[in-house]
Amino acid sequence: MKRSKYRLPLSQRIYLIAILKGMGITARHFFTNLLRPGRMPNVGYPEKRRNYSPRFRGLQILTVKPNGEIRCTACMLCATACPADCIHITAAEHPNPEVEKFPKEFNIDMLRCVFCGMCEEACPVDAIRMGTRYELANFERNQFIYTKDDLMRAGNYTQSRVTRP
């Protein structure tokens, strides 16, 4: 194979200009952040948090009817639509004959959930919605199974439910 006869010129070979260019970029960022801190792209978590749009998909919320009962009728469409197979529902007979069916158990395994929102789309009665809570880190594996009560109250959260071992 013929070797290329082309050689970089000296000014490029000593890389000095390239070095100075790189340092220049760093210096520019340094001074911009020093003099205009509001322009920095970082978010100072956890003191500051990003503002997400109202369509943001976080922890699910199970909605309730005006009388306080769960709206879900255990039709299992969300469990069927879920691509991660993380929703487990047990249906039961509701004492009120007009309601007839309701979920006795409604568990979502957040370790499997991918927050795609398919459950929200599948629900025919607007019983499950993707809420805005995303701080779900925890130390215990079993703390990631969110039960019916957890999800019904998921709309009113103030802080994460971390339990330290």
Partner 1 sequence: MSTDVAVKKVSVTIDDKKVEVTPDKTVFQAAVEAGIFVPHYCYHPDLSIAGVCRMCLVEVDNAPKLQISCNTPVRDGMVVRTSSDKARQAQKGSLELHLINHPVDCPICDKAGECKLQDFYREFGLYKSRVELEDKVHKPKAKDIGTIVLDAERCILCTRCTRFTHEVTHTDELVIVNRGNRSELKTYDDGPLRNDYTGNLADICPVGALTARDFRFQQRVWFLEKKNSVCTMCARGCNTTVSVNPKTKKLYRVEPRRNPEVNKSWICDTGRWRYHYVYGESRLRTPEKISDGRVLESTWHQAFGEMKRALEDPSGIVIGLSTQLTNEEILELVLSFKESGVKHFVRIVDEQVIEERSPWDGVLKHRDHTPNAEGFARMFSMMNTKFLDCAGLAALVGEGNLRHAWFFGLEGEDVSWASRFVEALPEGVSLTLHATSRLPIWERAQWLLPAASAFEKSGTMVNALGRLQRLQAAIPRVSLARDGHAVAFGVQRGADRDAAPEARHVDLFEKLIAAPLLGREQVWKKLDPMGVALKERS
> Which parts of this chain interact with partner 1 (CB under 8 A)?
73-77, 80, 91-93, 97-98, 100-101, 124-125
* Residue 110 C-beta: closest distance to partner 1, Å: 19
Residue 108: half-sphere exposure toward Cβ, Cα within 13 Å:
29
Q: Using the minimum distance from each CB to partner 1, give the nearer residue, 21 or 101.
A: 101
Q: Using the minimum distance from each CB to partner 1, give the nearer residue, 59 or 87.
A: 87
Q: Using the minimum distance from each CB to partner 1, give the nearer residue, 91 or 110.
A: 91
8 Å CB contact between 63 and 126: yes
With tokens 């959930």, the residue in question is 113
10 Å CB burial of residue 52 (0-12, 13-18, 19+) is exposed
- CA Rg value for the chain: 27
* Residue 100 C-beta: closest distance to partner 1, Å: 5
Cα–Cα–Cα angle for 138, 45, 63, nearest 5°? 55
With tokens 């007009």, the residue in question is 98
Q: Using the minimum distance from each CB to partner 1, give the nearer residue, 71 or 133.
A: 71
Q: Using the minimum distance from each CB to partner 1, give the nearer residue, 43 or 125.
A: 125
* Residue 76 C-beta: closest distance to partner 1, Å: 5
* Residue 98 C-beta: closest distance to partner 1, Å: 8
Cα–Cα–Cα angle for 74, 78, 81, nearest 5°? 140
* Residue 90 C-beta: closest distance to partner 1, Å: 9
